[in-house]
Structure 1
Amino acid sequence: MTRLKRGDEIPRPKPWRVLPHSTEAARGWAELERQALDALDRAWVDLTAEPRSVRNPARQHRLKAMLGSVKVGSVELEQWQYEVTSSGRLWYAIADRE
């Protein structure tokens, strides 16, 4: 249990780490920050709270067929998409922690 005092930042209880897989992904994130900061913040909260959520399948869903998984290193991971804006999408892979 973490001891907090006034002014301390409260961490998420069950945080997920979000790491860009490439320089292009990092640039895309920065562009979304510039263009749609509020929408990107909502996406961050949704992704780090429930990366497999299907409550809003038009906005957040697992990709299908060959895009449904991606190999990162030697590990096959589920690949999902989150619609941040009407033209801005985040593709992400979920690596469960053990």
Structure 2
Amino acid sequence: MSYGKTDPVPPPPGPGEYDVRFSTLRAAEGWKQLCKQASGNALAAWKLMRTNPSPNPCTKRHDRLKGPLSTAVRNGRAYPQWQIEVTGGGRLWYLLDSDRQTVWLREVHIGHPKKTE
């Protein structure tokens, strides 16, 4: 199956869960690659985004990005940007729209993202 920008990351959310959607076509393509390389870890990350996208307290593998990466703009509005460490180097970056109970999967990094070094 092929996914595109703004498509939901299936299946649809259950009661009280967040709707997880692709923010970019690149994120959709990266998600497909991640699922091929580390399907179990991708599933665990998907469950976190769906049920607990902003853990308090943060964990070593699931936290809000820092500094200039702590927020990102989507459709003219700034949102907090979070990260899940999916593999030793792999990361998911997503924007959290709490008002709409939506997670926008923005970037999928199979290897460690250079932006955070």
Shift of 1:57: 2.1
Root mean square deviation of aligned Cα: 1.5
Q: What residue in structure 1 maps to residue 52 of structure 2?
A: 50
Cα distance in structure 1, aligned partners of 2:27 and 2:17: 21
Q: What residue in structure 2 maps to residue 8 of structure 1?
A: none
Q: Higher Cα Rg: structure 1 or 2?
A: 1
Question: Could you tell me whether the CA contact under 8 Å between 1:82 and 1:90 is conserved in 2?
Answer: yes
Change in CA separation of 1:36 and 1:55 when aligned onto 2, cut-off 3 Å = farther
Q: Secondary structure at the match of 2:55?
A: coil
Q: Percent identity?
A: 33
Q: What residue in structure 1 maps to residue 73 of structure 2?
A: 71
Q: Secondary structure at the match of 1:26?
A: helix
Question: What TM-score do the two structures reach when normalised by structure 2?
Answer: 0.69
Displaced runs of 4+ in structure 1, greater than 6 A?
A: none
Cα distance in structure 1, aligned partners of 2:79 and 2:99: 12
Shift of 1:63: 0.5
Higher RCO (CA < 8 A, seq sep 6+): 2
Alignment of 1:7-86 (within 5 A): 12-55=14-57, 57-86=59-88
The superposition leaves residues 49-91 of structure 1 with CA deviations (integer Å, 9 ceiling, x where unpaired) of 1100145521100001110000101111000100111121000
The superposition leaves residues 24-60 of structure 1 with CA deviations (integer Å, 9 ceiling, x where unpaired) of 1111100011011111111111111110014552110
Relative to total residues, which structure has the larger strand share, 1 or 2?
2
Q: Secondary structure at the match of 1:19?
A: strand
- Amino acid of the residue matched to residue 12 of structure 1? G
Question: What TM-score do the two structures reach when normalised by structure 1?
Answer: 0.82
Match of residue 97, structure 1, among 76, 96, 99: 99
Cα distance in structure 2, aligned partners of 1:84 and 1:12: 23
Gaps of 5+ in 2: 1-12, 101-117
